[in-house]
Amino acid sequence: MSETIITQTWPTPPHAGTIRKPGPGDLNVLAAIENQCFSIDRISRSGLRRFLTRSRQDPWGVRFLAVEHGACVCGYILLLLRRNSLIARIYSIAVMPEHRRTGMARTLLAGAESVAVESGRNRIRLEVREDNAAAIRLYTSIGYQTFGRIEPYYEDRTAAIRMEKPL
């Protein structure tokens, strides 16, 4: 069974999908999304399985959310919630190429932010490749601000921009 999570009042296009918790039956599609969206620094299939399991066992340590368009899972976001921390961290976000620029990423981010607020966090952070201008524009447009840079960060030695949003 899948559980739908109602997001709060973030504006999204009417076709921006439905957020739900993925289950073990979604592992194949999540692995396919990961492989289509990332050429390096991928989460392995076994890593995705571990995150799915942890999300079900300890939902306030790891939250895995998927976005659906119709019956198709077309993206996911992985949120880490460390104990005794007021900061949530977006570990990974991915949307299938054919579903980009449709509001799916905004829907996922709104869902993650809602979960972070519900869990008592007051800020949310992420790292993004410094050469991913589209993602940086998206994050900036919804209130994320740059607060640092890590070089090198990714497998190919590209730097990461660190961004944060108050909740």
Residue 33 main-chain phi, psi, to 5 deg: -60, -50
Residue burial 25-62, b: 16+ Cβ < 10 Å; e: rest: ebeebbbebbeebeeeebbeeeebeebbeebeeeeeeb
For residue 1, the 8-state DSSP code is -
Token pair of 162 as six digits:
């660190």
pLDDT > 50? residue 20 = yes
Q: H/E/C letters for each residue in 51-75?
A: HHHHHHHCCCCEEEEEEEECCEEEE
pTM of the model: 0.87
> Structural domain boundaries of the chain?
18-125
Tens digit of each residue's pLDDT (9 = 90 or more) over 85-126: 999 999 999 999 988 888 899 999 999 999 999 999 999 999
Q: Which CATH superfamily is domain 18-125 in?
A: Gcn5-related N-acetyltransferase (GNAT) (3.40.630.30)
Determine the 3-state secondary structure of 145 from DSSP.
Answer: strand
